[in-house]
Amino acid sequence: MFRLLLLSVLVTLAAGLRIAPRLDGRIVGGQPVEIKQYPYQVSLEYYGSHICGGSIIGPNKVLTAAHCTSGSSASSFKIRHSTSYRGLEGDVIEVASIAQNPEFNPFDLSNDVSVLTLTKNIEESDIGKPIEMVAANATEGGRKAVCTGWGTLSSGGLLPHQLQAVDLNEVDRVQCNDDYRGGITDTMICFASPGKDSCQGDSGGPLVVDGKQVGIVSWGYGCAHPAYPGVYSHVAALRTFIDQH
């Protein structure tokens, strides 16, 4: 699936848009943290290897990005929860089904959201439990967020073993749309901080404001590029689809 998606992204790049889904990811400018601080964070494993992040939103539900699941069957995936370490410890649960937003566009990455149903419930604890999602009518603007994941720490670097977190600030929607030459849709929000960002492998992971998930790591041009904020799926705008699944 990723080869097909990469091809579509390259076609888009050739058309002059600066867009790159964050498939193998990094948290740039972040710091190592413990899962008990972010117990909703999960690793989405594709045939046994970490490929994306995700968040627990219900006893047997995980939220992630559609570009992480596009073109693959549920049997290809498992989630690992309740651990600070990529590929180690915690509990691993198979994915029973994938509800991918039917309006997901692999070219501009609008509606980039999937809801995974697991084969069994997650045993809730202080290191593994759901996060509340922001309301559909939440107010945008001026928010401070935290983004977590196991993405690489530098371009071309190795994936870290320990969970990373980075603090980010919301970027004005009009400004972000200008930065991306009109590429920001209503199902996207933008966050950035100087020298800090999410990136490939952090895809699908949660962006959280005041304990509520507001975004899903989606795409961007480079990582921590001063002229291009990180782009996240807009959870408030996607609540209807999420709540139905």
Positions marked active-site? 67, 112, 203
Tally Cβ neighbours within 10 Å of residue 21.
Answer: 28
Give the span between the Cα atoms of 188 and 6, in whole angstroms: 20
Tokens found for residue 85: 């370490």
Provide CB contacts within 8 A for 29, sequence distance 6+: 166, 193, 195, 196, 197, 224
Tokens found for residue 65: 């990005």
How big is the CA angle at 100 (ends 97 and 103), to the nearest 5 degrees?
A: 160
Contact between residue 219 and residue 81 where contact means Cβ atoms under 8 Å apart: no
Strand partners, 114: 64, 100
